[in-house]
Amino acid sequence: MGLGVRAHGILIPQRLLGVKVDGIVGKKTLEALNAQDPDKFFQTVFDARKKFLQDITAGSVKRYEARIGRKATEKELLTHTNKRFLKGWLNRLNDLKRL
């Protein structure tokens, strides 16, 4: 991926860096990124991504329970919401720490 290429995966880091969130890895994004401590920034991005995945799941659960008009059982949540994907998403996220 070269300079100026649009990429969805850079949106969270751009927000955390305080640069324009446009999905383009350009000069300003690279300068801001290069000014960061790599280990600290990795952990910051990791934590933000984890929260993003948990928020997707929580929203899915909330919408499902609103639709059925009651608290869902764990089985229902694992069948009808994004909760069924959360473990896999978090496993893949944690795999990044092992690279």
- pLDDT tens for each residue of 14-32: 999 999 999 999 999 999 9
Distance CA 81, CA 66 (A): 12
Instruction: Give 92's pLDDT tier (boundaries 50, 70, 90).
Output: very high
Q: Smallest Cα–Cα separation from 77: which of 92, 88, 62?
A: 62
Cα dihedral across residues 58, 39, 96, 94: positive or negative: negative
Report the Cα 20 to chain-centroid distance in Å.
Answer: 18
Please give the average per-residue pLDDT across 60-73, as a whole number.
98
